[in-house]
Amino acid sequence: MPSAVTNDLVSDHERYRVLVNAITDYGVYMLDAEGRVASWNTGAQRFKGYEASEILGRHFEMFYTPEDRATGLPHRALETAGKEGRFESEGWRVRKDGSRFWAHVVIDPIRDPAGALIGFAKITRDLTERRAAAETLRQSEQQFRLLVQSVTDYAIYMLDPQGQVTSWNVGAERIKGYLPAEIIGQHFSRFYLEEDQRKGEPQKALETAAREGRFEKEALRVRKDGSSFWAHVVIDPIRDESGLLIGFAKVTRDITERKAAERALEEARQALLQSQKIEAIGQLTGGIAHDFNNLLMAVLGSLELLRRRIPNDPQALRLLDNAVQGAERGATLTQRMLSFARRQDLKPRPVDLADLVRGMTHLLERSIGAGIFVEVEVPAHLPPVKSDIVQLETALLNLAINARDAMPGGGSLIISARAEQVGPGHASRLPPGLYVCLSVADHGEGMDAETLARAKDPFFTTKGIGKGTGLGLPMVQGLAEQSGGRLVLKSCKGEGTTAELWLPAADPNDLESVEESKAPEAPARSRQFTIVAVDDDPLVLMNTTAMLEDLGHIVFEASSGAEALGILRSERGVDCVISDQSMPRMTGVQLAEIIRAKWPRLPVLLATGYAELPGGVGRNLPKLAKPFRQHDLARALDRVMEDKTG
């Protein structure tokens, strides 16, 4: 049925025409063998601007730019298509209105069944928009690359899925020290500490990022030169549109400074806690020591009086000596407690450390025993320091004994001193000024970090209960601080210890030396006085009274300031008041103030175990340090009465 076939052919032909014409996104048209336009479709019309009637029969080179025409591109295109069976390119083409558009062009040759070239099929696509989009993308990528490249505070770089570095910015170069050429292609695990590498941290980081969409951490990382730094690290996975992992973006910041600031803050907090703790223990110990002092005073005073009443019975005297020794050991302990509680009643005077050390060498050698050699390296001309000479000797002895205990097999102990001008930011953290540093060094067992950190804590000892009090170093520290200095300990396990006692040099203006009156061994029984003794502690009061009566004086006892005032009002002829300072309701100083107002010529002697006296009147009152012996009391009384009469 030929007609049906023809019909089919016609409708086939028609279908193709309709189809081609319906294509609006592609220009689909034919050229004859010479390049003249032989057919035209809607797409071609749409983006080239010509109606079919205007263009059919015209040469296709008119779609090209003058520059391309000048180089003969249109002819070459047909030639290539003819020879190679296809020509494909992208380039600028010209519309009817003269404007240009970016075209993608394919030209295929059309041959008859015998193989002769009869024309060309040409398919053109307007890619102007796509090209513009691509250009925008390229520009923004370039901008982005420039941006990332020029960031110096953050290391921003990429890894491939296996962790190899694929890009590197200036920040990375600055923070980690590698040039791009040195690091691109290397595995990023080299930025990790060896131990972290062994633990598989780098791999875990990538796995976490891939699994959870992000990995973030602060940790130590290693620079090219091997030094380490605190890094804040973020790793994000990068995926393509299909979700396939194509690499990782890594941003690293150097937070070493922030970490250092955090650490300094933490240290300061710890130091504050520690000082609050010491302060609390100090309050407690100081309080106990104060009461203890009173008790010992009573014990020692009574023993002294007893000694005079006992006939020459050697056995009784030996027992008495024992008791005195025991009480004196207790007094030493009390002194240490008061000292670490910074409640020592210091008698600061200019002290020449060279003299002090020289004067003590013999005593030191004796007290630390054989097997330990004492070397002294103290220059002769050191500036004097202002401190309490007796306490300073005790401190030096404490340090020397610690050194001895650290060298059970013997060794040498080096006592040295040097003057040093301390500036701001000095390692000792002392306020600026001139200091003398007295140091006691041993090559003994030393201390591990933990022991060193606690060595200055009150009651901390490694020597066992009953052996060490743990008050040696706190005493030294207390003295140093009360004198405006510090105790600095340096030690390493197995390498020995150096204890440095930093003391401020005495102010040349303070240098008038305090006259020292030597203690008369036997109490002087010159005159008889009438005395009011005031103390809230009956034991102490009784003891003071006994000592005074033994000296031949007449004593009125008062257990409070108010009682003392009552006695003064009723009794004529009182020569002196001896009062405890620390009493409830009315302190010794308050009592003294009232007395000064009412009986200005009546002297008041203040007995005190505390360093902290109120200023004003309290500072100028004659004082008697507790615990006192009878001759101390006699001497203080003499001085007060001399001042009154003299």
Q: Would you tell me which residues interact with ligand ATP (CB under 6 A)?
A: 398, 402-403, 406, 442, 444-447, 451, 455, 460-463, 468-474, 497
Q: Which does 618 bind (CB under 5 to 8 A by kind): ligand ATP, Mg ion, none?
A: none
Peptide bond into 627 cis (omega under 30): yes
Residue nearest to ligand ATP as judged by C-beta position: 472
Between 402 and 560, name the residue whose CB sits nearer to ligand ATP.
Answer: 402
Minimum CB separation from ligand ATP for residue 498, in Å?
Answer: 8
Between 408 and 432, name the residue whose CB sits nearer to ligand ATP.
Answer: 408
Q: E strands of 142-227, at which residues? A: 154-159, 215-222
Minimum CB separation from Mg ion for residue 347, in Å?
Answer: 24
Q: Which does 447 bind (CB under 5 to 8 A by kind): ligand ATP, Mg ion, none?
A: ligand ATP
Minimum CB separation from ligand ATP for residue 227, in Å?
Answer: 33
Q: Which does 582 bind (CB under 5 to 8 A by kind): ligand ATP, Mg ion, none?
A: none
Minimum CB separation from ligand ATP for residue 476, in Å?
Answer: 8
Minimum CB separation from ligand ATP for residue 399, in Å?
Answer: 7
How far, in Å, CA of 627 to CA of 301, rounded? 9
- Tally Cβ neighbours within 10 Å of residue 424: 7
Query: Across the beta sheet with 26-32, what order do the strands follow?
Result: 26-32, 117-126, 100-111, 87-94
Between 455 and 613, name the residue whose CB sits nearer to ligand ATP.
Answer: 455
**Subset of 423-452 contacting Mg ion (CB under 5 A):** none
- Tally Cβ neighbours within 10 Å of residue 179: 11
281, 295, 363: which is closest to 330 by C-alpha? Answer: 295
Q: Which does 94 bind (CB under 5 to 8 A by kind): Mg ion, ligand ATP, none?
A: none
Chain Cα centroid distance, residue 427: 14
> Which single residue is written with the structure tokens 């309490």?
388
Between 401 and 542, name the residue whose CB sits nearer to ligand ATP.
Answer: 401
Between 305 and 414, name the residue whose CB sits nearer to ligand ATP.
Answer: 414
Minimum CB separation from Mg ion for residue 445, in Å?
Answer: 14
Confirm or reject binding of residue 402 to Mg ion (CB under 5 A).
yes
389, 403, 329, 397: which is closest to 363 by C-alpha? Answer: 397
Q: Which does 35 bind (CB under 5 to 8 A by kind): ligand ATP, Mg ion, none?
A: none
Between 162 and 462, name the residue whose CB sits nearer to Mg ion.
Answer: 462
Give, in order, the Cα–Cα distances in Å from 584 to each of 11, 238, 312, 535, 591. 126, 78, 43, 10, 12
- Take residue 299 and report the two structure tokens written for it: 């014990």
Minimum CB separation from ligand ATP for residue 407, in Å?
Answer: 8
- Take residue 192 and report the two structure tokens written for it: 């990790």
286-317 burial: b if 16+ Cβ within 10 Å, else e: beebbebbbbbbbbbbbbbbeeeeeeeeeeee
**Structural element, H or E, at residue 359:** helix 353-368
Between 398 and 582, name the residue whose CB sits nearer to ligand ATP.
Answer: 398
For strands 372-377 and 411-422, give the pairing. Answer: parallel
Minimum CB separation from ligand ATP for residue 446, in Å?
Answer: 6
Between 189 and 461, name the residue whose CB sits nearer to ligand ATP.
Answer: 461
Which of 109, 472, 504, 618 is close enough to bind Mg ion by CB under 5 A? 472
User: Residues interacting with Mg ion, by CB under 5 A?
Assistant: 402, 472
